Amino acid sequence: MEVIRATCAGACYGVERALKLVWQAIGDEQQCASAARPVFTLGPLIHNPQVVAELEDSGVHAVSSLDEIEQGILVIRSHGVPPLLIEQAKSKGLSVIDATCPHVSKLQQAAQDLHEQGYTVLIVGEVGHPEVEGIFAYAGEDALAVRTVDELPDKLPSEQIGVVVQTTKSQTTLAALVEELRRRGLDPLVKNTICLSTKQRQRAAEELAKRVDAMVVIGGKNSSNTTRLYEICRESCPQTFHVESAAELDPLWFIGVSNVGVTAGASTPEEQITAVISKLESYN
């Protein structure tokens, strides 16, 4: 069985940067001996359970609220947070390391600019996702978020609509929503904030899925961008499997398969991809 890796797959710059910052913080504190401070993230640093577990073992604790932290270092995760939260952390005397992905920071700024220009901000994204929840803090009280055209309300807060997009959403979803707004006679100002890494991974995964017998998508089940890769691959290759690690692979999935494609989400480290490819190659 031939194993083919997508031309673009795995951890993006924003994830690698966040991991570098948190490991650097751990190293710096370990050198302080008895004066070492605890390190925390508000929610998982990235959407990869294996990496989060590794960080926990190294002393980085994911918490759900600032109330759980008395002192130490708070690392802002790659998805970003509302600015008020950073202010609250500093007011508690916490040292703050901002690991917000630069693409998310640009998205936050785009939402703020639209709001300040008088637009009602429409966020194309997953309600409840930490990145989207952070955007609301920049987008104004009348902002709203929808995943698809079907979720677009019949009556919008105003006719002056500005559009931003969760960095991991697909171009197809954005285009469909903009088309619907224009069908309603509106002329939205669109800020296409889908990050380049997402576009590259989606394009490469789709192209590969069209020419293989099976696909394996690697990454957290809680990862929006990995889940989207799985959906894209499954549209072209019904025999598509989403796994978080090599341990989840089943050789029975690949009986009669001549070639299998492999891709991975933006929160998936290289070692996880290598492990999956090695196990697939062992099925020969």
- Catalytic residue numbers read 131
- Report the alpha-carbon distance of residue 238 to residue 236 in Å, rounded: 6
Dihedrals φ, ψ of 213, to 5°? -80, -30
What single-letter DSSP state applies at residue 9? -
Q: How many CA atoms lie within 13 A of 80 on its CB side?
A: 22
Sequence-separated (6 or more) residues with CB below 8 Å from residue 163: 121, 122, 124, 174, 177, 178, 181, 188, 189, 190, 191
Please give the structure tokens belonging to residue 100.
Answer: 């917000």
Alpha helix ranges (H) inside 210-262: 224-236
d(CA 208, CA 203): 9
Phi, psi torsion values for 160, nearest 5 degrees: -100, 95
